[in-house]
Amino acid sequence: MKIALAADHAGYDEKEHIKATLHELGVDFEDFGTVSTESVDYPDYAKKVGEAVAKGEVDSGLLVCGSGTGMAIAANKVPGVRAAVAWNEEIARLAREHNNANVLSLAARYTSPEENEKIIRAWFGASFEAGRHQRRVDKISEIEQEERSK
């Protein structure tokens, strides 16, 4: 498995911490930046990760910003991306199992490194259940198609 990893300035330190967890889990990653705590615009990084996921260059994405929300909003603008903000293990697991989320967005300022590690483990330990959830995910794709055709 290979993922795209990125953070803005607020999430930089947490992104660097997360790399050890990814190594432990055997998850290969490409780091799309940022490379310091110097202020940057989070949409630039969310777009890079989202595009890599949507093009199939990676299996999924992992984003980190202050709240997790800005990165998720920006990533969700890329067709084919289903980014979820997770603040605990259950939310991460359900995002994968029920929503087939393909990008995880974490909050560096509001979730401890220890909790983020648990969230990441739950995320990578879960998979899409399909079944009754498939038609809902299909409807998300239909919305994207409708919006593109306008």
pLDDT in tens, 118-150: 999 999 999 998 898 999 999 999 888 888 888
Terminal CA-to-CA distance of the chain, rounded, Å? 35
Compute the half-sphere exposure of residue 120: CA atoms within 13 Å on the CB side of its CA: 28
CATH of the domain at 108: 3.40.1400.10
Q: Which of 9, 23, 65, 133 is catalytic?
A: 65
Is 98 part of the annotated catalytic residue set? yes
- What's the number of domains the chain is made of? 1
Q: Which of 9, 17, 98, 133 is catalytic?
A: 98
Domain that holds residue 139: 2-149
Q: What is the mean pLDDT of residues 101-109?
A: 98
Residues 35-74: pLDDT tens digits? 999 999 999 999 999 999 999 999 999 999 999 999 999 9
Is 9 part of the annotated catalytic residue set? no
